[in-house]
């Protein structure tokens, strides 16, 4: 039997990467807290199944888009002991003509994908800084670095998450805390199917034939990602685990997983430019070396 050595919190544990990560980390000997919404309702069976997978798994109801829910959830978690690793995996994605999504729909995605990560990070960072140890993994996307058509409101959330993560990484590195970003390509996790159509349907009329392209694209992606040889979601889980088991201070800023669309090359070229800001702002001595 594996000896539990570290505690990990994984948001968005009801499906996809999150569900796989809960099982994999538990199998590797970690104490795992998985969070999801609806543990007394729609996800009650999922909670039961995951907790039955291992005695080291606890599933709690937590909505990353709600301040009070995050505060209560992490109070319970931290009361049990310190958090060594936080994996921000919860996310929602809408596909369609960007203009046709309402402000409310843009906010919905931002609340989960961006503000949700800030809420959970702020819940664990004080103790991590005090312990001078910890790892935060934020799940971004290829579209956190590029901006394809029809993903505009979702892409904006991931660009925001990337910017926030990079800044915090600089600021907490010398305090013993690592912040790393994982950028999955397309995977068959059900994320696309759980999206919502644009609220402003009347806008679509003026787009003509283009208005139907996102639906066709979504169908194509769904078929491709369920076909033999499609990227395996376990690859992303393995990327989480690899980062968790790397030596502190040596983890890369960004890890691309699966279909890359050139983002891996973009990261290699842009990170040295990004890190020059430390020299330009005369912060190298203050923040130390945090590039990778």
Is 158 a catalytic site residue? yes
Is 14 a catalytic site residue? yes
Query: What tokens were used for 93?
Result: 């994605």
What domains are defined for the chain?
7-287 (3.40.50.720)
The catalytic residue among 54, 58, 140, 141 is 140
The catalytic residue among 158, 165, 170, 240 is 158
State the CB neighbour count (10 A cutoff) for residue 239. Answer: 22
Is 164 a catalytic site residue? no
Per-residue confidence in pLDDT tens, the chain, 292 aa? 456 589 999 999 999 999 999 999 999 999 999 999 999 999 999 999 999 999 999 999 999 999 999 999 999 999 999 999 999 999 999 999 999 999 999 999 999 999 999 999 999 999 999 999 999 999 999 999 999 999 999 999 999 999 999 999 999 999 999 999 999 988 876 666 677 889 999 999 999 999 888 888 888 877 777 778 888 899 999 999 999 999 999 999 999 998 899 999 999 999 999 999 888 888 877 776 555 5
In angstroms, rounded to a whole number, what is the distance separating the alpha carbons of residues 58 and 279?
Answer: 44
The catalytic residue among 6, 14, 30, 165 is 14
The catalytic residue among 154, 165, 170, 240 is 154
């Amino acid at each position: 039997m594996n000896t539990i050595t570290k505690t990990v919190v994984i948001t968005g544990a009801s499906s996809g990467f999150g569900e796989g990560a809960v099982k994999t980390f538990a199998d590797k000997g970690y104490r795992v807290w998985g969070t999801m919404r609806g543990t007394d309702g729609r996800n009650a069976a999922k909670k039961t199944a995951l907790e039955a997978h291992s005695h080291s798994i606890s599933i709690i109801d937590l909505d990353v888009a709600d301040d009070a829910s995050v505060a209560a959830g992490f109070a319970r978690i931290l009361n049990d002991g310190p958090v060594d690793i936080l994996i921000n995996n919860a996310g929602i994605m809408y596909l369609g003509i960007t203009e046709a999504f309402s402000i409310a729909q843009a906010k919905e995605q931002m609340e989960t994908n961006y503000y949700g990560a800030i809420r959970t990070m702020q819940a664990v960072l004080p103790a991590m800084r005090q312990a001078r140890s910890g790892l935060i993994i934020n799940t971004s996307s290829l579209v956190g670095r590029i901006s394809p058509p029809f993903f505009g409101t979702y892409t904006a959330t991931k660009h925001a998450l990337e910017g926030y993560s990079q800044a915090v990484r600089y600021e907490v590195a010398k305090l013993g805390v690592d912040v790393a970003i994982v950028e999955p390509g397309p995977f068959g996790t059900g994320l696309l199917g759980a999206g919502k159509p644009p609220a402003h349907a009347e806008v679509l009329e003026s787009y003509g034939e283009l208005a139907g392209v996102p639906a066709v694209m979504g169908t194509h992606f769904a078929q491709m990602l369920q076909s033999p040889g499609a990227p395996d979601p376990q690859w992303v889980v393995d990327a989480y685990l690899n980062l968790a088991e790397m030596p502190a201070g040596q983890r890369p800023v960004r890890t691309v997983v699966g279909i890359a669309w050139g983002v891996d090359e973009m990261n290699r070229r842009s990170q040295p430019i990004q890190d020059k800001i430390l020299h330009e702002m005369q912060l190298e001595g203050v923040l130390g070396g945090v590039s990778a």
